[in-house]
Amino acid sequence: MSSGDERTENDFLGPVKVPAGVLYGGQTQRALNNFPLAGERSIGHYPTLIQALLQVKWAAAEANQQAHFLDKRVAQAIIQSADDLSEENACQHFPVHRLHGGGGTSANMNANEVLANASEERLGGQRGEYRWVHPNDHVNLHQSSNDVYPTACRMGVISQWPHLSGALERLRQTFQDKALQFCQAPRIARTCLQDAVPVTFGDLFGSYEALLDRSHGRIAQAVEVLHTINLGGTIVGRAVDVPDSYRNRIVPALQVVTRDIAYHEVRNLFDAAQNPDDLVAVSSALELLAKSMIKIAKDLRLLSSGPETGLGEIRLPAVQPGSSIMPGKVNPVIPEFVIQSSFQVVGNHTACSAALDHGELDLNVWESVTVFNILDSMQLLSNATIMLAKLCVQEIVVVEERGARNTSTIIPRLTDLMKSQGYSAVSQVCQEAGGENLKIQKLLEEKGWI
């Protein structure tokens, strides 16, 4: 029933008013009432998750039609609606708060209602009537939030990964190019922030390239594991709640819909309902990348410190004035952007770890905090790596005369002498000179060692 700008829908709690023109229904509206956005993000802010939910429903309609549980006309209406919504910006139809309670039920019902109403209209009905297509009886047939939502969460992360993968590859390649460009440029290695031995900037940039390559592989491996899904497990992993003729078809149907044959059913459905450690493993790999990015960005800040009283061994491109009061000052703002973005990723992983720690008994209901922090971390790292490559690393200039001067200092000389004169003999000179560089220099000259 509708009047004016509202329609009335009913569930077992009673009637609920829904805006007349929206595709979602009563349970989504209850979620909006219970979990107001108040300026925060909805599930609709995460396109890869919405796409995943639509694809799961599409696959379920296919499987139910093939198993003769859904009338072909109804199944095709759901499939076509899912396809159409996948092609357009469907995120506007998913206003549920991303951290809604209930273990994903509100997100699942949001998808069920949107597809039911879109299909209802396709078959000649009106939004909210559910005469031809019902959110629970048809769109959600042989499914539960316990298997739909965890599956969609994993699919959303898998779909997000290529963007971060490409950004990481670009930064890795940029460092590789810099390693080749400055393979002969001298620099002083430092341990404990003290002078050590001569190396090259090629060595340093090459080490960053290797670190990023290893990080990429670690994340890729963790993401690949997410293809193991519990779709068909329904309530807490009870496969007996769905007929075999549907269950045997649902994952193959998802493979077809997603064009990804890597999806396969988890070995233990009960384990999958309780333990999202595979998602947390992705978050952990992202945290390791974030900490690696912090190290790289901090190095760039140190090496470019100055311009007169710092290390000054490299120059970073000036991308904006560095002070509102000090003319000519330029700050390493891109590395600082990377560092702060990475701090946030570290914090996101803390939340993901808590979600794993606080699972109770037969269902972990905290997958929302896990998946959305992972998707946020992926976006933060994608943006940070793209900008670091584009506006910083690509234009780094090595101040070779500073590097040459630094590699001619006393510690590198003493280290070289140790090879010919022995550690004890060189140490004795340092002791006699009381650690004073000028005295060390004089004693070495007197001995004819330099």
Per-residue tokens: 84: 């159409």
Please choose, from the candidates 224, 278, 232, the residue with its C-alpha nearest in 3D space to the C-alpha of residue 251.
232
User: CA 128 to CA 394: how far, in whole Å?
Assistant: 55
User: CA 338 to CA 380: how far, in whole Å?
Assistant: 9
Per-residue tokens: 433: 């000179």
User: CA 11 to CA 13: how far, in whole Å?
Assistant: 5
Q: Are 415 and 449 in contact (CB under 8 A)?
A: no
User: CA 39 to CA 59: how far, in whole Å?
Assistant: 33
323 given a catalytic annotation: yes
Per-residue tokens: 360: 């109770």
Torsion sign (Cα): 125, 129, 130, 131: negative
User: CA 161 to CA 433: how far, in whole Å?
Assistant: 58
Q: Are 410 and 440 in contact (CB under 8 A)?
A: yes
Angle at 136 between CA 31 and CA 155, to 5 degrees: 70
User: CA 425 to CA 431: how far, in whole Å?
Assistant: 10
Mapping DSSP to helix (H, G, I), strand (E, B) and coil, where does residue 264 land?
A: strand
Instruction: Please list, residue by residue across 345-380, b when 16 or more beta carbons sit within 10 angstroms of its beta carbon and e when fewer do.
Output: beebbebbbebbeebeeebbbbbbbbbbbbbbbbbb
The owner of tokens 């004169």 is 421
Q: Are 287 and 295 in contact (CB under 8 A)?
A: no
The catalytic position among 305, 323, 342, 368 is 323
User: CA 193 to CA 212: how far, in whole Å?
Assistant: 23
- Give 265's strand partners: 229
State the catalytic residues. 323
